[in-house]
Amino acid sequence: MEKAFRFYLNSKAIFFHKGLSLKSSTVDDPKSGYGLFIDPTKFSGEEVNNGTVQLLRIPKLFTFDINTLLALLGDEDEFTSKEQFQRTNNKIKTALREIMEYPGFSRFLTETNLLIIYFMIFQSIFNSYEIPGSIKYYLKNILMNSDVETAMDTIEDLATDYGHYPQIFGLQETLKLFKDLFLNLLNVNDIKHLYSAIISRCLEIPEKSGTKGQEFTVHSTLVPVLDFANHENTRKNAYFDIDPANNDVLLLLNADVVQERGANSVEVFISYTPTDNLFSMLLTYGFAPDFKGYPQFWTVSLDRSFLRDYNGLDLNAELRTFYKWLHVNPVVSLVKHEHNGQVRWFINDTTPKFDEILLPFIPPLGDARIARWAYDSACHLMFAKMHCLVNPETKEHAAMIAEKYRSLIQDRELNGDDFINLPPLAWSLRFKDTKSGCMLQRHMNSEEAIAELQREQRQDAAETRSRFVDFFRSFLKYRKSRITKLTSNSNVTSALFAQELEIIDDLATAIDKSSTIFFSDLNVVLDVEPSTFPPLRFLHDHMEISEKTEKPVRKCEDPASYTSGAFTDFFEDETNQYVAFFGND
């Protein structure tokens, strides 16, 4: 890497501050490698007084995003002859056309994945075809020469214990795509290495999109030299930006660093991401920063099998099924924070989505202890009844329509998707009407249910949380039993296991000792919020069956004999609410 650094240092196109150099990073991680450093003695007083100092200026065409790659490939001057220019471009166009025809490719078509695909094409053809020199140099001396390890390198092993995390599932699908696309062109190790090298170096670089106004677009971009700068939110002393006049990428140093450190060498730190989401950082960069007073996050993706088998609630169906029908993403945000001189993990109940997670834990209502939620195992008949009401001409086929809904609902409940994209007619919420005081029930989505419960102004919030804590304690015990043995010897796997075990032991101890476990109880306002995991939505061919009992097959009865009033007091209102669904069915 030192040789590559000197190569760019000698380039007349890139501006280097004379006080900038490359050394072994001070980050306490064996994979941190090199970092950028400044010598404070080589900065003038005028520079320091300006507030920021320009350390690097990298011309737009020296960076690599989709637009610059196309510009380089479209420039005949980048090739030794017109014939070589045409030959290479024809080869790349043919390869891209075949890639675009891959079944289901569109759902993988992100800007970052397309950038990776281009470099995989370059890697597969550079021995036989000419490619622009700047691309070839970066590919051979930076990307293929990087000592980097991310989750992609051991994705098969990680999927054993973390396959319910959407990032892991996404990596599995992405690797399968790349293996299929580059079959017999690249070996699997090269595919994994290129993916890891690019994904860990990509920065979201803005670009002014017009000559007038302040409109900018953001592109996944590889930036030579700048990608030597390491991440550290608590020691951040520099940031990257662009010159709007020409879209050059700039590395700017906070000038006060020069004044504070005197003659001592200082490592340059930027921020890859404003929040330390440890799980995501371990997967993408292969490391997780140490805690240094800055909030850190871990988003727990709840094991779907655990949700199916959990029986600690007064639900007459599975918790997994409840969350699927009500579109509740089964994730829980955790935050690491210092409290009373102790660094601990807390359940981050300040996120807007946490109320959704709590919905099934609402305690029974009143002295009669009436269960708040009721599951209708014959909800396919509710669907059929509404369908025939909206479409009167179909009444004579009601039994056949009910059977179709029965099959559809069973498939949706058992597949691996987190959301069932149907009207939420399987679960009813029992509530007390604030005007009449009567007990009512209605089918609701999660937003409607939360709003209704808030209107009740119930005093059982503490019991709701207590029931959730019991559930979460059981989950922690379950997870610990699942990750007692490493599935591989990789650094990423070891770090993931160690971090999750720390979280499990910390929270389990706090629960057992009745210590504070909810972040809101600290009365601290977070300056940053964690990003949320998306729900799993692409496992249509994956059927989930409980480890304890198989899902019973619904009997298809006559819709005419079905009594809707057993589960809702608002049948007509609900039919009108979902008329568009049934009318387009």
Q: Could you tell me which residues come within 8 angstroms of residue 106 by beta carbon, excluding any fewer than 6 positions away?
A: none
Question: Which band of pLDDT confidence, cut at 50, 70 and 90, is reported for residue 544?
Answer: low
Give the per-residue pLDDT at 105: 85
Lowest-confidence segment of 19-33, 297-311, 346-360 by average pLDDT? 19-33
Question: Which band of pLDDT confidence, cut at 50, 70 and 90, is reported for residue 261?
Answer: low
Average pLDDT over residues 89-114: 91
Q: Can you spell out the DSSP letters for 407-459?
A: HHHHHHHHBS-S---S-S-SEEEEEE-TTT--EEEEE--HHHHHHHHHHHT-S
Q: Does one domain contain both 55 and 181?
A: no
Q: Does one domain contain both 264 and 130?
A: no
Task: Give the separation between CA 200 and CA 285, rounded to whole angstroms.
Answer: 5
- The residues that bridge with 122 in the sheet, in sequence order, are none
Domain boundaries, position 524 = 296-530+549-583
pLDDT at 547 over 60: no
Average pLDDT over residues 278-298: 89
Of residues 585 and 490, more confidently modeled: 490
What's the distance, CA 319 to chain centroid? 23
Q: Does one domain contain both 392 and 499?
A: yes
Q: Which residues of 65-99 are buried (b: 16+ CB within 10 A; e: fewer)?
A: bebbbeebbeeeebbeeeeebeebeebbeebeeeb
Give the per-residue pLDDT at 25: 85
Question: Which band of pLDDT confidence, cut at 50, 70 and 90, is reported for residue 369?
Answer: confident
Give the per-residue pLDDT at 434: 78
Task: Give the separation between CA 279 and CA 288, rounded to whole angstroms.
Answer: 8
Give the per-residue pLDDT at 99: 93
Q: Does one domain contain both 144 and 270?
A: no
Q: Which of 526, 521, 529, 510 is nearest to 343 (CA)?
A: 510
Average pLDDT value for the chain: 89
Give the per-residue pLDDT at 552: 54
In terms of Cβ atoms closer than 10 Å to its own Cβ (0-12, 13-18, 19+), residue 179 is: middle
Give the per-residue pLDDT at 556: 52
Q: Is residue 380 part of a domain?
A: yes
Question: Which band of pLDDT confidence, cut at 50, 70 and 90, is reported for residue 144?
Answer: very high
pLDDT at 548 over 60: no
pLDDT at 212 over 70: no
**pLDDT tens digits, residue range 470-509?**
999 999 999 999 998 888 888 899 999 999 999 999 999 9
Report how far apart, in Å, the C-alpha atoms of 119 and of each of 58, 92, 140 are. 20, 11, 11
Half-sphere exposure of 123 (CA within 13 A, CB side): 28
Q: Is residue 207 part of a domain?
A: no
Q: Is residue 216 part of a domain?
A: no
Report CA torsion sign: 165, 533, 116, 237: negative
In terms of Cβ atoms closer than 10 Å to its own Cβ (0-12, 13-18, 19+), residue 337 is: buried
Question: Which band of pLDDT confidence, cut at 50, 70 and 90, is reported for residue 171?
Answer: very high
Q: Does one domain contain both 51 and 72?
A: no
User: What CATH number is given to the structural domain containing 267?
Assistant: 2.170.270
Q: Does one domain contain both 261 and 303?
A: no
* pLDDT-above-70 percentage for the chain: 93
Q: Does one domain contain both 429 and 562?
A: yes
Token output for 69:
């790659």
Domain tally, the chain: 3
**At 301, which helix (H) or strand (E)?**
strand 296-301
**Residue 16: other Cβ atoms inside 10 A:** 18
Question: Which band of pLDDT confidence, cut at 50, 70 and 90, is reported for residue 324?
Answer: very high
Of residues 193 and 553, more confidently modeled: 193
Q: Does one domain contain both 128 and 34?
A: no
* pLDDT-above-90 percentage for the chain: 62
**pLDDT tens digits, residue range 421-469?**
999 999 999 998 878 888 999 999 999 999 988 887 666 788 999 999 9
Classify residue 552 by its DSSP letter: P
Give the per-residue pLDDT at 211: 60
Q: Does one domain contain both 55 and 75?
A: no
**Residue 7: other Cβ atoms inside 10 A:** 15
Give the per-residue pLDDT at 309: 93
Q: Is residue 472 part of a domain?
A: yes
Phi, psi dihedrals of residue 88, rounded to the nearest 5°: -65, -45
Q: Does one domain contain both 329 and 194?
A: no
Q: Which of 107, 53, 66, 65 is nearest to 539 (CA)?
A: 107
Q: Is residue 518 part of a domain?
A: yes
Q: Is residue 279 part of a domain?
A: no
Edge-first strand listing for the sheet containing 427-432: 373-375, 427-432, 439-443
Q: Does one domain contain both 94 and 132?
A: yes
Token output for 138:
């970066």
Lowest-confidence segment of 38-42, 321-325, 543-547 by average pLDDT? 543-547
Q: Does one domain contain both 364 and 438?
A: yes
Q: Could you tell me which residues come within 8 angstroms of residue 94 by beta carbon, excluding any fewer than 6 positions away?
A: none
Question: Which band of pLDDT confidence, cut at 50, 70 and 90, is reported for residue 545?
Answer: low
Q: Is residue 538 part of a domain?
A: no
Lowest-confidence segment of 82-96, 522-536, 542-556, 568-582 by average pLDDT? 542-556
pLDDT at 585 over 80: no
Phi, psi dihedrals of residue 7, rounded to the nearest 5°: -60, -50
Q: Could you tell me which residues come within 8 angstroms of residue 95 by beta carbon, excluding any fewer than 6 positions away?
A: 121, 125
Q: Is residue 282 part of a domain?
A: no
